[in-house]
Chain A
Amino acid sequence: MAGTAEIPPDTLRRVEVDGVPVCLAHTQDGGFYAINDVCTHEEYSLSEGELWEFEVECPQHGSRFDVRTGAVRFLPAVIPAQVYAVEVVDGDVYVNV
């Protein structure tokens, strides 16, 4: 879906996989994670928010999700986000939706 070089560490990138909006996170430890880009609270785009270690923060109300599991860390969101398997092959990131 994207080249690893296009996404600097500690940043987020929105991609679409088969019509599904996905927020790709490149964490500080070098890992890549994929989480559904639509906040489960009020449908804002998570990739426009910030990444805090392994937590993505919704730009609108501050809800946070663990990019590894989708678990809610901060309210007001209460429903876990969907996460997707990621593979990095030859410098390209693949997301399995």
Chain B
Amino acid sequence: MAVAPKISVGDDYREKYGFYDPEKFIFKAKKGLTEDVVREISWMKSEPEWMTKFRLRSLEIFRKKSMPNWGADLSHIDFENIFYFLRASEKQGKTWDEVPADVKRTFDRLGIPEAERKFLAGVSAQYESEVVYHSLHKELSDKGVIFLDTDSGLREHPELFKEYFGTVIPPADNKFSALNSAVWSGGSFIYVPKGVRVDIPLQAYFRINAENMGQFERTLIICDEGSFVHYIEGCTAPMYTTDSLHSAVVEIIVKKGARCRYTTIQNWSTNVYNLVTKRAVAYADATMEWVDGNLGSQVTMKYPSVYMMEPGAKGDVLSVAFAGKGQHQDAGAKMVHVAPNTTSTITSKSISKAGGRTTYRGLVKVYPQAENCKSFVKCDALLLDGESRSDTYPYNEVEAENVTLGHEATVSKVSDEQLFYLMSRGIPLAEAETMIVNGFIEPFTKELPLEYAVELNRLIQLEMEGSVG
């Protein structure tokens, strides 16, 4: 991408877009969403024509689609006041001084290393694990595993890419998938060949790419027959960003006998609308697991889905949501049983505090031909004070014979008995509460890699003390 292709532009191009040095490729996008912006994004990335057309068509669909008439309040999103594409060089332009004090304080308390802090705060685009990444990359490519940012995936593996891209979540699926399809940038592209097991979790921020934590990530994961991969997105430390809208699309294909686990720890700063579409298809005897933690953002709407297309497929969602002051976590899961003998479980844990609101919204759908399916949903909500709110909206639709479907939910406060027990052993109230909350989310924490689990527990402690946000 050294030299920009020659294109016909107006005379004011330089002033308008700040495009003054083709070598360095610095690009100043304007706010708002127009066909020009979409064309520019595609052109900057030197994309094939089909992708440019795909983006433009997606923009058209985005304009036609109405906002969801359910879920969180999205009326404050101003689509015209958002940058839809920023080059890395612009992101680097920020300084440490611009990062809000509360975010810095949290980094301190969590003991995040200096370099990582700058990366997390969006000040630096580089993360020091470059060396780790390179050795990892070598090992993976020897096995035929592809692990790239999505832009490189499109460039380097065009046929594989085109075969699957947009087939699980087409642009017209919903307003935000249409938006992402029009302006996507970054994200991960992963292919695991037949029978290959990737033993260490693949983490997005191993990849050296300024856009990998972008606003409009687009991730595509293909697990070929009998393979296994664990992918981790995000991190426990707060991700500071000035962008007010984050809208990702994640598509996953899990073929016969394969297993994919996708772990997310979402901790965007509390100015962000986080509106994400995540969906996986699982074929015969395949397993898809979503481990989904939502701590940050102002509003999250996210319902990871598993479509069980062939007999023996299995779907699992394990999720945790924490909503503090001013936050609304509207999260859940969708399990769609298309074939017989498929099974799913959903376990949701939510905590609301200081006026925060958590909503579990889920769907279990069993199509008529999907006999002998089993599904079990368990939702537990903890309300830490009288200001907070918890909602549960589980939709269960059974259209097949011999299906066993169960749903259970409870909403409660921290139990007086537990508190009393801990305090009688000399543990102060605040600490006892934190212990109870950490115990409450333990089924989630124990599924995380150790360093994530440790950080998450520390973070819960900070949230409980009210020193975050």
Contacts and interface: CB of A to CB of B under 8 A. Distances in A.
Direct contact of A and B (CB under 8 A): yes
B169 A75 contact: yes
A23 to B, nearest CB: 17
Interface in B286-325: 307, 309
Nearest to A60: B172
B170 A64 contact: yes
Given A75-B167, A78-B336, A79-B367, A59 B172 contact: yes
Contacts of B309: 78
Contact of A75 (B61, B170, B171, B367): B170
Contacts, number: 38
Q: How large is the interface on B (under 10, 10 to 19, 20 to 34, 35 or more residues)?
A: 10 to 19
Contact of A61 (B167, B168, B172, B338): B172
Contact of B173 (A59, A76, A78, A79): A76
A24 to B, nearest CB: 22
B170 A63 contact: yes
Nearest to A49: B172
Number of contact residues on A: which range applies?
A: 10 to 19
A14 B172 CA distance: 21
A94 interface: no
Given A75-B279, A75-B281, A78-B367, A62 B171 contact: yes
A73 interface: yes
A78 B170 contact: no
A75 B173 CA distance: 8
Interface in A46-66: 57-64
Contact of A79 (B61, B166, B168, B338): B338
Contact of B167 (A59, A73, A78, A79): A73
Interface string A75-96: 1101100000000000000000
A60 B175 CA distance: 11
A82 B434 CA distance: 56
Interface string B134-172: 000000000000000000000000000000001111111
Given A60-B172, A63-B170, A64-B170, A78 B279 contact: no
29 contacts: A57-B170, A57-B172, A58-B172, A59-B172, A61-B170, A61-B172, A62-B61, A62-B170, A62-B171, A62-B172, A64-B170, A73-B167, A74-B167, A74-B168, A74-B170, A75-B167, A75-B168, A75-B169, A75-B173, A75-B279, A75-B281, A75-B307, A76-B173, A78-B309, A78-B336, A78-B338, A78-B367, A79-B338, A79-B367
The 9 closest A-B pairs by CB, nearest first: A62-B170, A62-B172, A78-B338, A74-B170, A74-B167, A75-B168, A61-B172, A61-B173, A62-B173
